[in-house]
Amino acid sequence: MKVVTVVGARPQFIKSAPVSRALQSVGYQEFVIHTGQHYDPEMSTVFFEEMSLPKPYAILNCGNLSRDAMLSKMKTDLKPIFEAIQPDMALVYGDTNSTLAGARMAQECNVPLIHVEAGLRSYNLEMPEEHNRIESDQLSKWLFTPTSQASENLKKEGFSDNTITQVGDVMLDALQMFRSKAAHTLKMGPHSFFYKPFALVTMHRFENISQPERLGFLVREINSFHRNVMPVWMPLHPATAARLEEFGLKLEVKIAPPVGYLEMLWALQQTTLVLTDSGGLQKEAYYSDKPCVTLRGETEWIELIEMGASVLFDPNKTEELIPTARGIISSFKPGSKDLYGAGRASQAIVAALG
Q: What is the pLDDT of residues 162-197, one digit of tens each?
A: 999 999 999 999 999 998 888 766 554 444 555 679
Average pLDDT over residues 286-307: 96
Share of the chain above pLDDT 90, in %: 82
Architecture of domain 182-331: 3-Layer(aba) Sandwich (3.40)
Candidates 34, 38, 115, 204; catalytic one: 204
Cα–Cα dist 37/70, whole Å = 8
User: Would you state the pLDDT for residue 190?
Assistant: 42
Mean pLDDT of the chain: 93
Say yes or no to pLDDT of 289 above 60.
yes
DSSP-derived secondary structure letter, 45? I
Q: How far is CA 13 from CA 10, 93, 233, 342, in A?
A: 5, 9, 23, 20
Nearest to 235 by CA among 201, 190, 197, 272: 201
Where does residue 159 fall: left (phi above 0), alpha (psi -120 to 50 degrees), or beta otherwise? beta
Distance, CA of 20 to CA of 84 (rounded, Å) = 21
Stretch 258-275: mean pLDDT, rounded?
92
Averaged pLDDT, 229-251: 96
Question: Residue 151 — left, alpha, or beta (φ > 0 → left; ψ -120 to 50 → alpha)?
Answer: alpha
- 6: exposed, middle or buried (C-beta count within 10 Å: 0-12, 13-18, 19+)? buried
The CA distance from 24 to 249, in Å, is: 47
What is the average per-residue pLDDT within 7-23? Answer: 95
Helical (H) or strand (E) element with 232: strand 232-235
Is cis: bond before 190, omega within 30 of 0? no
Q: Is 204 a catalytic residue?
A: yes
> Could you state, in order of their start, the residue ranges of all structural domains in the chain?
2-166, 182-331
Mean pLDDT of 317-346: 92
What is the pLDDT confidence band of residue 27, given thresholds at 50, 70 and 90? very high
Confidence of residue 202 (pLDDT cuts 50, 70, 90): very high
Quick check: helix, strand or coil at residue 166? Answer: strand
Identical fold, 2-166 and 182-331: yes
Q: Is the pLDDT of residue 39 over 70?
A: no
For domain 2-166, the CATH class is alpha beta
Give the tens place of pLDDT for each residue, 106-155: 999 999 999 999 999 999 998 999 999 999 999 999 999 999 999 999 99
Contact 258, 235 (CB under 8 A): yes
Q: What pLDDT, on the 0 to 100 scale, is given for residue 354? A: 86
254 φψ region: left (φ > 0), alpha (ψ -120 to 50), beta (else): beta
- Report the distance separating Cα 10 and Cα 311, nearest Å: 24
Question: Whole-model pTM?
Answer: 0.92
| pLDDT tens, residue by residue, 230-239 | 999 999 999 9
